[in-house]
Structure 1
Amino acid sequence: MKARRTLLQQHTLGLMVAFVVLELVLAIVFLALLVVPLARRAADDLAGLVVLSAQTWSELPPETRPAFVEELRANHGLEIRQAHGSTTSPAVHPPFVYLFEQSINRRLPQSTHLLREQRAGEVWYWVNIPVGDRELAVGWPENRNDSKPLIALGVGLLCSLWLSWWSARWLARRIVQPLSSLGQAMAAVGEGGTPTLLPEDGPQELAAVSRQFNVMVQQVQVLLTARTTMLAGVSHDLRTPLTRMRLALELLRDTPTPALLDRMEREVERMNQLITQVMELARGLEAEPPQQLDLNMMFASLQEDFKDEKTPLQTRCDVGTVWAAPLALRRILSNLIQNAQRYASGHPVRLVSEPGLQGTRIGVLDQGPGIPLAELDRMQLPFQRLEASRNQDTGGFGLGLAIVRELAKANGWQLQWISPPEGGLQAWITLASRHEGQETLQSGYMSHLCEGTHRVASRPQLTDRTSSHRVV
């Protein structure tokens, strides 16, 4: 199988070809518009000077001709002598010779060719000029014109080719290096490693790609951490009731009693609650289609569900209907109400709805002890509790806030925590209008891992012990 070129090789080759084509075009333009016109003008000037010198020499008195020849040699690099046939004409001439022949033939009655002569280690060119009844040979050395435009052009092209190769290599490496780093980082992620975050510099497009990759890496790390925490929490919280059930089974073999059976039933119910809440947290990442919802009916249903609790639930509904996902909203409110009742210290918990600037606001308000602000972020992670023990009598499983947060993000709702001066905690959910809700639902689902909630204050552990008959 033929080996594929690397991206660096492809970009280098492409840029090199582009540079070479550009240089060839510039060289052609340079030759056609500058070098050739200047060379033709120089050939015309030299042809005119040669013809004029021969004619002047023939018209001068014999005694002044040597001085004239000396002046031509000193000032113009030309020599005049009687024409003779000891010269040779090579098959190939420099380009300037052909231009000179064209110019001189336009000034003479018959065409002629330059003759080449090796003289004292120098190359001379001679042309026979007919003057009257004789011919004069006018010559000049090959190095009379020190300029060598073709050599200069060739050297320039070689230097340009080298510079083009170096520039193409540098530009290609500059383009490919971020992509190569991105590929290595993605390979590290695929192997389960933790890559170093990419620098977010360079061109705007590459910086944007690096920025999005860094966000993705951080989100993957959050997911992996949440998975590890969830597995550890589930295994830990299941081990305790299983140990109690094993002990109860051993006791049942000796003395079966209804109390032991009730104890086993409670442990099974706790395990069922834990599994139910873990499934709720997993389902929280799935957006539910919204629909028109009657808040009065939902509030009445929730009040009926919680009427047997020691902490009373009071409702006030100032908004009749909203556009929202009913199951997700009910799960959020159920979790918040049970969390509030757990820490309300016997004071009533209020469930209210009111119109807001950005949509309908639904709040669960209690008068509990509150939570330190620095602990609120940690409390919204799975299996995190303010109280370090796993005692179910002093708190739930540590999933309540995590379920609420993920459900709100998946449905594009704004979650806000407010700690009033008089104490307690207020949890507010803002539901957008129908048109805005359809847009925020998509953006909320795509960014469910980003920290998008506005947190004003906190409270102690807000945990959830929602039973299956309360959370749909």
Structure 2
Amino acid sequence: MTPGMKRFRDLSLTAQLVLIVAAALFAAQAVNFALLLRETRALAESRSVEPAAVRLLMESGRAGFAGERHRRERLRQPRPQPPETRPGERRLPRIEASIAERLQAAGAPARGVRAFVRRWERHGREEHVLIAAASFDSEEWVVTRARAPLPAGPLAARLVLQTLIIFAVTLLPLMLFARRSGRTLKRLSGAARTFRGRSDSAPLTPEGAADIRALTEEFNAMRARIAAMMAEKDQMLGAIGHDLRTPLASLRIRAEAVEDDDERQAMIASIEDMHGDLEDILLLARAGRADPDISPLALSQLVDDLAAEQRRTGRDVSVEGTVADDIFVRANTASLRRALRNLIDNAVLYGGSARILVTQERDEIRIAVQDDGPGIGKADLERAADPFVRLESSRNRQTGGSGLGLAIARQVASAHGGRLDLSNRSEGGLSAAIILPKA
């Protein structure tokens, strides 16, 4: 695809429609302009050529009549040399060829023809006249004058004005219609972008043309079906979670009764791992949906509490710099806390420590958790946040974890209208950042 086509594809519907119709109108008007200008120019030249040819025939005595009246109309007696053009004047080859054709058709072929336009003072005002000269059998030149061809400037100006009027009459209604349809499509796009699987979103009002209204109605119906399926999924997950927690709790109670300490501890650890994996899976399944309990959240308090909580467990977690008190995001506190806790767990597990850095970039807030670990290979950065992915080297099953920490963080960020960004730091280690819109 050429760069021009790519730029055209990236334009809005309104811009594409206007450009296509404008290009078609321009092409049609260009053809019309060329044809009309050609015909008008030919007519104007004919109105000058015919009189000039007749007068040359009369002046030379070859018109079949040459009385005293016509002799008085001669500009001057035949001359041995053709008239010369003055500065600013130029010969007209097309006019000369047309006059020669007329003379040839009248049975008086000319050995040479000269024609040019000259300014002529008449009754105190300036006029433009056509000076025509022809040489017949002798070496002398016969000279006469006739009406000069009309310039194409006024006609061109009228055609340009006509084109502008056509453009205005055609494109303005088209732009209004296209903008109306474009607004409806933009509303559909915005609703699809902000839809998070809940049924509390108001349906869009169908507007515009019939097919646009049908599209809106189908979108509303599709969104209702998705919301119903998501609600059914949540009910199913709740039932599954309840049904699995009960036997796990029973197994935990029975494990406590095992007399052998090593066996008891191994059984309890396995049960705890199963319980943790179950909670992670259920949380991942629900993390992609927007929580209704979303409100402006001050990040300074959140990151300070997280760092203090981690330090109380003996972990090396700190907050770099001072987080301004006026940095807010719209988020569910529990979900965002869980996502950041997962990033901190990974940083401490693989790097030994974690640093939380909050920065503001335009209309976005970046909450980065940095470590000094081995980082992630470039080939694995894209899939590192996929569910159940455990990377090679130090990030494998022997180090623990279910492979859902980053996946949950990404789902939480997406549910809040943001994203998860993973990158290797130039000085070593990984930077895992949740980027959210500023409240």
| TM-score class normalised by the smaller sequence | 0.3 to 0.5
Q: What is the TM-score when the length of structure 2 is the normalising length?
A: 0.39
Higher relative contact order (CA 8 A, sep 6+): 1
Q: What is the TM-score when the length of structure 1 is the normalising length?
A: 0.37
